[in-house]
Structure 1
Amino acid sequence: MTSNALENRDAMEIRLKNISDALDALIEQNNKEKIDICEKILSDFKKSIFPFVDKMKTEQMSSAARTYLAIIESKLEEISYSNPYHMLGLEQNFTTTEIHIIELIKQGKRSKEIAGLLNVSIATISFHRNNIRKKLGIKNKKQNLFSFLNSLVI
């Protein structure tokens, strides 16, 4: 290959790498925006609907109406306490503990701090961190969990 052809190929590879990086950044930003929207919707949902459900519980109503209200409340809780990762298809059946740990990791807490906050051993946190990494598909990869989670804004 001539020197010109090699230079053109190298320049093309650099351009493709830049385009790939730009697309990755756009995808990350899109994921962040989706999760932010879901979190806002869930927060608004909890603030605007549950007070009315609580108020309805104090009203006189038939046994059937109370049963229906209990079902509605149960379903609303199920929806509102689900996490935005699941709603967006980013979650792989995270446990409640894993979700708490994810949130603490995103805040920059280290395993020792998380263990202290949750009153568990550091080994327990390591176990959950490994499960989180596996569920996110980054186990055995040189990917920082804090960076990865914050890139998704999970």
Structure 2
Amino acid sequence: MNLQENNNSPVVYPASGKTQDTGSCLKPIPLPIEGQTDEVEIALRERVKELNCMYGIFQLAERHHSSLNRFLFELVNFLPNAWQYPDITKAKIVFRGHLFLSTGFKISNWYQSSPVLLNGELMGECTIYYTEERPVVYEGPFLKEERILLNNVAVQIGNIAGRIAIDEELEEINRQLKLERQALQEANMALKVILSRGEAARQDIYNDINQNVDKILKPILLSLEAQLPPSQKIYTQLILSNLEDISSSFVTNLSGVCNCLSPVEIAVSNMVKNGLTTKEIASLRGVSPATINRHRENIRRKFKIVNQSVNLSTFLQSNLNILE
């Protein structure tokens, strides 16, 4: 029995199964007229192919998320299956100057093309060819739905290319960071070796100085001290004490603890630390005791022990020896 559209007849909507008047705001789904079944089946089959095409594109993008070239290479061979005549369909994709052609590709007069954009900038195009003539239906031999599909494919190529480009950039950044981290680790290891060698060299120099002082200078000074009158032995004792300070880095520590001390104040501090009196220091330096007292006051002020019952000699010996 032929089913004819009748505006006065109720129409069945598959979504609800209820009858509605044709005056409703919803448009009815027309039932196929006898003899049109083949056309409906063909149309449905084409829609399924289009859906499979879009689904396949997303699958390819997932499979080749880190390689844009591989994605486009497989896509260009996948696209012909979504068109009405896959046996005579060929595809071409151009992206950033790179050309991708489907198997057995050849140019013909029957084609449709869509631009590929990335962030609004033209990057290439996607083109579908029929290698044989077919009846004109919409855009030449191509269906209206195929034009829509091709436009959607071009949009997805741009979107997926953007995501893959970001992934590739992140991968390159991670690779560079890994290389820099390795280089930094190697540099740290090299620095540790250098510091270790420097410390060993410093210790060797320190040991050499001590040996020279003990084996050469001290015997000479002790021999000289034995020949001097008691009033002059203080000089050799001071020299011996200073040699001990050199080997124990007293002067270096003194400068490091309070770098505001002047060279004269450092010299006076050294003598005070070795137990010399103000009069003895003044005699050795050729100045008055009052001058040495001013230096001692400045030293106490800079060490912040003014007006404290702290012996300066004891302070210098106890506090600075900690740093040796």
**TM-score after normalising by structure 2:** 0.22
**Structure with a larger share of its residues in strand:** 2
* Structure exhibiting the larger radius of gyration computed from Cα positions: 2
**Structure with a larger share of its residues in helix:** 1
**TM-score after normalising by structure 1:** 0.45
